[in-house]
Amino acid sequence: MQGSATGKKALSEVEQKYIVFSLGEEEYGLPVLQVHEIVRLSEIIKVPHSREYFMGLMDIRGKVLPVINLKKKLGIHLEDRETVLDRAIILETAGRRVGLSVDRVSHVVRFAAEEIDSGPPTVKTVSTRFITGVGKHKDRFVVLMNLEHLFSDEELEELFHQ
């Protein structure tokens, strides 16, 4: 029985690890378990008549993946200046891989349960359904996200059946 308790503790620790990335000046975190890999954005093949947030297709080691501008998909509008999208976080959704363009990927951080605030209930809306809480790390706040349901069934159909 002791072995199973240790296994649960280890799984709990993994679930608290987040890859921290930036969209503009804000920092966001994605659970490590949702991320397949992080790559530098390379040549994007544009697809005509696609959704505004769909950047195009990118070849990653012989596989063609759709790439999404995460700022546009989440409705994050930066007024001051647009930063250059530099990295793509590759994650798996509905059994298929997709790239999410972000400004920067900085580090992996582990949040203890007491360092995560779920936020006030009044903030929970349809537009914030991907936010699971706010982590506090070294006097900074990291918006913690879960992007498993980032796309509707219709959007998935469009992305993977171009």
* Distance separating alpha carbons of residues 99 and 53, to the nearest angstrom: 12
Residue among 156, 150, 37, 27 at smallest CA distance from 87 = 37
Q: Which domain holds residue 86?
A: 2-160
- Give pLDDT tens digits for 6-25: 444 444 444 489 999 998 88
pTM of the model: 0.78
Domain holding 121: CATH number? 2.40.50.180
How many domains does the chain fold into? 1
The model's pLDDT over 106-144, given as tens digits with 9 standing for 90+, comes to 999 998 878 888 766 555 554 567 788 889 878 889 999
